[in-house]
Amino acid sequence: MRGYFVSLAMPEKIRRLSLGGWHMKTILVLLRRLILGLAVMALVLVLLWKSGLAVRLATQAAVIASAGRVAQDPAQAPPAELALVPGTSLRGELLRQRMRAAAALYHAGKVKRLLLSGDGRSANYNEPRAMHRMARELGVPDTALTEDPGGLTTYDSVRHALDLVHGAAFTIVSQPAHCRRALLLARGMGADAHGLAAPGGAAPDAVSPREEQAALRAVLDLMGLRGLTSQWKNDGHITVAGVRVAAL
């Protein structure tokens, strides 16, 4: 009788072992497919990068996203709750040009307040604080000024503006090429955003290599690949599946 029960139990044990082996084979197959998929993705990214197609597509995406949405004069800009002024280097005239355009937008009654967003991590280098001083010199009251020291990237600045307006429209004030890229990010995040082109800088239709690369990073940001773009910005390259895909 004891042998009878043992003989009944053995097939079940063998069946469980067989089932476990089947699961292991499935996992190995899935792992191989995943590794192959990552390798193919890395190859595609390399080809896109080396051919320059990825940069061209990203730049064109910024042009399409901003088409008909960038005013050249404050009087042409639609009314909005807020104007976002992204920071840039305190050296040179670009930041002051942005602030002049933003102040003109405010005095024209097109926006109620200005969000001064930039790198404010250091007491010795604080873009929002410098922008605040410029705005005051241009007649914009303190009550209409909000500093955002956490605007370390255009993506951060746009996201913070979106959080402030709670779905209302806002205007981005910057030089033309940067304005287009910021609008790509804003519209990609679902914002009803327009732009005001600050005078100065490069010709309105000119796009520098640096701006082209930044447009590609913006597209990757919108795809949820902030980890890759942060690696690119900090390390100067992107690595996928152990393969260096792009370098600055």
Give the model confidence (pLDDT) of 76-101 as tens digits.
999 999 999 999 999 989 999 999 99
Q: Above 70 in pLDDT, residue 177?
A: yes
pLDDT band at 216 (very low <50, low <70, confident <90, very high): confident
Q: Above 60 in pLDDT, residue 165?
A: yes
Q: Above 70 in pLDDT, residue 191?
A: yes
Cβ pair 217, 233 in contact under 8 A: yes
**What is the assigned CATH class of domain 52-248?**
alpha beta
- CA-CA distance, 162 to 82, in Å (whole number)? 10
Q: What are the angstrom distances between the C-alpha of 98 and each of 70, 105, 200, 240?
A: 14, 11, 9, 37
Q: Above 60 in pLDDT, residue 1?
A: no
* pLDDT recorded at residue 239: 58
Q: What b-and-e string marks burial along 79-95, b requiring 16 or more CB atoms within 10 Å of the CB?
A: ebbbbbbbbbebeeebb
Give mean pLDDT, residues 180-206. 86
Longest CA span, the chain: 101
Query: What percent of the chain has pLDDT above 90?
Result: 53
* pLDDT recorded at residue 186: 96
Lowest mean pLDDT among 9-23, 101-115, 194-208, 210-224: 9-23
* pLDDT recorded at residue 212: 84
pLDDT digits (tens, 9 = 90+) for 123-157: 889 999 999 999 999 999 999 999 999 999 999 99
Name the residue ranges covered by the structural domains of the chain. Answer: 52-248
Query: What percent of the chain has pLDDT above 70?
Result: 71
DSSP lists the bridge partners of residue 237 as 247
What does the DSSP assignment read for 22-80?
Answer: HHHHHHHHHHHHHHHHHHHHHHHHHHHHHHTHHHHHHHHHHHHHHTT-EESSGGGSPPE
* pLDDT recorded at residue 17: 46
| Residue 121: partners with Cβ closer than 8 Å, 6 or more residues away | 149, 152
Cβ pair 219, 184 in contact under 8 A: yes
